[in-house]
Amino acid sequence: MRKGVRNWGPPLLLISPTIIILGIFVYGLIAVNIQVSMTNRHSLVPATEFVGIDNYIQLLTEDRFLHSLMNLAVFTVVFIAGTMVFGFIWAWMLDKGVGAEGIFRSVYLFPMAISFVASGVVWRWLLNSAEGDRASGLNRIFESLGLGFLQNSWWNEPIWGMAAIAMPAIWQLSGYIMALFLAGFRGIPEELREAARMDGASEWKLYRHVIFPQLSPVALSALIIVSHMSLKVFDLIMAITKSIYQTEVPATYMWVTLTSNDYAKSAAIATVLLILASVLIVPYLIHTARAEKSNR
Amino acid sequence: MTTTIEPGLEPRQNAGLDGGLSKRPSRQPRVGQTRRGRIGRTGKYALLILFVIVVMMPVYVLFVTSLKPPADVNPATSWGWPTRWPWEPVAEGGPTGFDNWTTAWTALSPALGRTFLLAIPAALISSFLGSMNGFVLSRWRFPHADLVFTFILFGMFIPYQAIMTPLVQMKTSFGLPSDISTLLIVHIIYGLPICTLIFRNYYVSIPAELMEASRVDGAGMLRTFASIVLPLSLPGFVVTIIWQFTSAWNDYLFALFLSDTAGGPVSLALNNLAQGAQLANYGAAMAGALIASLPTLLVYIILGKYFIGGLMSGSVKS
């Protein structure tokens, strides 16, 4: 037994500062957040009374919050579809072998290095809602290409305005999904393709029965990553429209409630976000932890 | 460890950190000999270049607009190249295109300095702690090691909103300042999970014999770490430092909740400059966006390979 302690004592000691810090700042603060969300602390006055899940019931029956969830849903669907489509197409084209692959890869991926705040500056201009003679940004391009009917007021449109907000997000993250898919393509053993070709499989059958099944774990991770990012979208919206009702999502609504000192409500919104994220992440963490164990 | 679900994370012999993107030796038959193949090739390149144009378009807009003096900003020519040299005023003594850049520089330079003081220490400190954790988790078996790893990783996936209300209250009750010193602590803490993950996966790829040998020699864990592991860790450090530097530099969420424009990082200063700008004076905001993005862009251009390595492990969990 003493031997055991001598073996695992030092490593545990080395890692314990991290465990303690994260214990406090991740798990501890989440617990405090949930606790605050169950009080009536709606102002700076610290008088707190336990109100159970009242704040959650109020939130889920409130039109404004449901509207922010709806916005988030539209944003998420468009964002996922866009990044997956572009990411896959780029990876697929690059995997077929092109000259100067590194350059294409770097260009497609570079928006990832830029902050949402910086790209928000230019996208606010590109998504300018003026039309006709006063049009600038994308509307001006449509106008001069004779595609005037495509002009629209972008994020000023009700509901589908969120699809416009998703455009910059797609621009920034498609390269990332490309990198994931490309690594997926490159992870498929060449022998598998060769074998399928030897068996006389057509190109389509090769994809249908060999490549797609091999890529599906990558596609799943990409899907989880993108939806997870989507849940947290905040910077981009703040940079393009500020926190206005039209483009409100739970994360920006939470900022509005916190800055008006409604601590209980902002904590409740945050908990809803955490639950949504956990639904995505926890099964994934468990799955990968299990897979790793069985591989050992 | 599953092999396909974590691209670029499986232990590799060469410990490459390009995230598994390297080309496999091509044994595909060369196309392009036949006429159909040639047309297909041309089409493919045309499409690839079209995508390059689409992706680069916002950069073109940023650049062109930043060089136009406000008097030259006009919806009809908004996509055009500037009509005069950036040092040429519209009227005698009037504003030039360069003025956008000086306006932006004046507005951002104090915050730029602060952001370096924030992002560099944040990157170094969480990387060092991450390397210790990664070393322990990759090589030393202790009870419930897997559980501890998952416990640490979870912190990487929470929406930070979930801790923000108590964190803001904590900051107020401890009387912490609304500047980068508070943000530094926060970035170090919430950078720990990702740095731990990257280092753990990196160390798994180092041959076990190397470390076993030093254990047989009777070296303790700390000595093994200091004399064997740390010297081998440079590639891991490059990845985590780039990752942490970029996320601290680009962060807006923590900056907004925990600091103010007077003491905060460049993301706040830039947003301030941009939100204050009228449509007529987008130029200064666009120059500012370029200035604020330059450090991370340079890192990406110079160390792109490592950037991708961090990206891949940053995305995926193991």
Q: What is the DSSP string of B239-277?
A: HHHHHHHHHHHH--HHHHHH--TTTS-HHHHHHHHHHH-
- Give the per-residue pLDDT at B20: 65
Query: Distance of alpha carbon B287 from its chain centroid, rounded?
Result: 20
Element containing residue B203 per DSSP (H, E): helix B180-204
Residue with tokens 């030039």: B96
- Of chain B, the percentage scoring pLDDT greater than 70 comes to 81
Q: Which of A65-79, B81-95, B172-186, B261-275 has the lowest mean pLDDT?
A: B81-95
Chain A CA closest to residue B313: A180
- Give the per-residue pLDDT at A285: 81
Smallest CA-to-CA distance from A8 within B200, B192, B139, B149 is with: B139
Three-state SS for A126?
helix
- A104 to A47, A156, B298: CA distances (angstroms): 58, 34, 17
- Give the per-residue pLDDT at B303: 84
* Residues 134 through 193 of chain A touching chain B, CB cutoff 8 Å: 134-137, 140-141, 144, 171, 175-176, 179-180, 182-184, 186-187, 190
Give me A60's structure tokens: 């889920």
Smallest CA-to-CA distance from B289 within B83, B63, B80, B79 is with: B63
Of B152, B271, B288, the CB nearest to A22: B152
Closest chain B C-alpha to A256 CA, distance in angstroms:
11
CATH code assigned at A69: 1.10.3720.10
Is residue A37 within 8 Å of residue A275, measured between CB atoms?
no
How many domains does chain A divide into? Answer: 1
The residue type at B35: R
- Give the per-residue pLDDT at A13: 83
Residue A198: pLDDT over 80: yes
Work out the mean pLDDT of chain B and round it to a whole number. 81
Contacts of A163 (CB under 8 A, 6+ apart): A74, A75, A78
Higher-pLDDT residue of B134, B312: B134
Q: Which long-range contacts (CB under 8 A, 24 or more apart) does B260-265 make?
A: B260/B178, B260/B179, B261/B111, B262/B178, B262/B179, B263/B114, B263/B177, B263/B178, B263/B179, B263/B180, B264/B111, B264/B114, B264/B178, B264/B179, B264/B180, B264/B183, B265/B111, B265/B114, B265/B115, B265/B118, B265/B119, B265/B180, B265/B183
| Cβ-Cβ contacts under 8 Å, A184 against chain B | 4, 7
Q: For residues B95 and A204, what is the distance between their CA atoms, to the nearest angstrom? A: 60
Buried b (16+ CB within 10 A) or exposed e, A159-180: eebbbbbbbbbbbbbbbbbbbb
Residue A134: pLDDT over 80: no
- Give the per-residue pLDDT at A210: 85
Three-state SS for B204?
helix
- Give the per-residue pLDDT at B184: 97
- Give the per-residue pLDDT at B241: 92
Is any Cβ of chain B less than 8 angstroms from the Cβ of A110? yes
Q: For residues A198 and A185, what is the distance between their CA atoms, to the nearest angstrom? A: 20
Number of helices (H), then strands (E), in chain A: 14, 0
Instruction: For an interface test with A, give the residue of B9, B21, B279 to mutate (most A CBs within 10 A).
Output: B21
* Subunit contact A11:B140, Cβ cutoff 8 A: yes
Residue B9: pLDDT over 50: no
- Give the per-residue pLDDT at B1: 30
Higher-pLDDT residue of B101, B218: B101
- Give the per-residue pLDDT at B179: 92
* Mean pLDDT of the region A135-163: 77
Of B27, B159, B251, the CB nearest to A277: B159
* Mean pLDDT of the region B233-251: 92
Give me A227's structure tokens: 């939806």
* Mean pLDDT of the region A272-276: 96
Residue A267: pLDDT over 90: yes
| Cβ-Cβ contacts under 8 Å, A115 against chain B | 249-252, 267, 292-293, 296
- Give the per-residue pLDDT at A42: 85
Burial degree of B174 (CB within 10 A; 0-12, 13-18, 19+): exposed
Is residue B198 within 8 Å of residue B137, measured between CB atoms?
no
Is any Cβ of chain B less than 8 angstroms from the Cβ of A124? yes
Residue A22 maps to a domain: no
Q: For residues A41 and B166, what is the distance between their CA atoms, to the nearest angstrom? A: 12
> To 5 degrees, how large is the angle CA A90–CA A92–CA A96?
115
Of B48, B155, B221, the CB nearest to A26: B155
Work out the mean pLDDT of chain A and round it to a whole number. 87
- Give the per-residue pLDDT at B42: 85
Residues A14-58 pLDDT 10s? 889 999 999 999 999 999 999 999 998 888 877 678 888 999 999
Residues A71-127 pLDDT 10s? 999 999 999 999 999 999 999 999 888 888 889 999 999 999 999 999 999 998 888
Q: For residues B86 and B65, what is the distance between their CA atoms, to the nearest angstrom? A: 11
Residue B70: pLDDT over 80: no
pTM summary value: 0.88
Of B135, B142, B308, the CB nearest to A179: B308
Residue A144: pLDDT over 80: no
Is any Cβ of chain B less than 8 angstroms from the Cβ of A253? no
Residue B26: pLDDT over 70: no
Asked if CATH classification 1.10.443.10 holds for the domain at B97-315, the reply, yes or no, is no
* Mean pLDDT of the region B277-295: 83
Higher-pLDDT residue of A108, A196: A108
Contacts of A197 (CB under 8 A, 6+ apart): A206
Is any Cβ of chain A less than 8 angstroms from the Cβ of B253? yes
- Give the per-residue pLDDT at B99: 85
- Give the per-residue pLDDT at B10: 33
Q: Residue A126 belongs to what domain range? A: 64-295
Give me B107's structure tokens: 């507005």
Higher-pLDDT residue of B143, B241: B241
Contacts of A34 (CB under 8 A, 6+ apart): A267, A271
Of B6, B163, B225, the CB nearest to A33: B163
Torsion over CA of B199, B204, B206 and B210, rounded to 10 degrees?
110
Neighbours of A107 (CB within 10 A): 18
Q: Which of A28-42, A65-79, A167-181, B70-84 has the lowest mean pLDDT?
A: B70-84
* Subunit contact B51:A90, Cβ cutoff 8 A: yes
Is any Cβ of chain B less than 8 angstroms from the Cβ of A273? yes
The residue type at B123: A
* Residues 89 through 118 of chain B touching chain A, CB cutoff 8 Å: none
Q: For residues B109 and B143, what is the distance between their CA atoms, to the nearest angstrom? A: 50
Q: Which of A196-200, B121-125, B174-178 has the lowest mean pLDDT?
A: A196-200
* Subunit contact A267:B165, Cβ cutoff 8 A: yes
Q: Which of A115-129, B33-47, B132-146, B213-227 has the lowest mean pLDDT?
A: B213-227
Residue A161 banded pLDDT, cuts 50, 70, 90: confident
| Cβ-Cβ contacts under 8 Å, B40 against chain A | none
* Residues 186 through 205 of chain B touching chain A, CB cutoff 8 Å: 189-190, 192-193, 196
* Mean pLDDT of the region A125-142: 77
Higher-pLDDT residue of A50, A140: A50
The overall longest dimension of chain A from CA atoms, in Å, is: 83
Q: Which of A83-92, A105-114, A142-151, A169-178 has the lowest mean pLDDT?
A: A142-151
Torsion over CA of A293, A284, B195 and A179, rounded to 10 degrees?
110
Instruction: For an interface test with A, give the residue of B47, B55, B286 to mutate (most A CBs within 10 A).
Output: B55
* Mean pLDDT of the region A274-288: 87
- Give the per-residue pLDDT at B79: 80
| Cβ-Cβ contacts under 8 Å, A21 against chain B | 189, 192
Is any Cβ of chain A less than 8 angstroms from the Cβ of B155? yes
- Give the per-residue pLDDT at B8: 38
Is any Cβ of chain B less than 8 angstroms from the Cβ of A127? no
- Give the per-residue pLDDT at A1: 43
- Give the per-residue pLDDT at B195: 93
Give me B204's structure tokens: 């798994």
The overall longest dimension of chain B from CA atoms, in Å, is: 80
Q: For residues B222 and B307, what is the distance between their CA atoms, to the nearest angstrom? A: 29
- Give the per-residue pLDDT at B314: 52
* Subunit contact A113:B168, Cβ cutoff 8 A: no
Higher-pLDDT residue of B122, B76: B122
Is residue A38 within 8 Å of residue A51, measured between CB atoms?
yes
Is any Cβ of chain B less than 8 angstroms from the Cβ of A88? no
Neighbours of B42 (CB within 10 A): 11
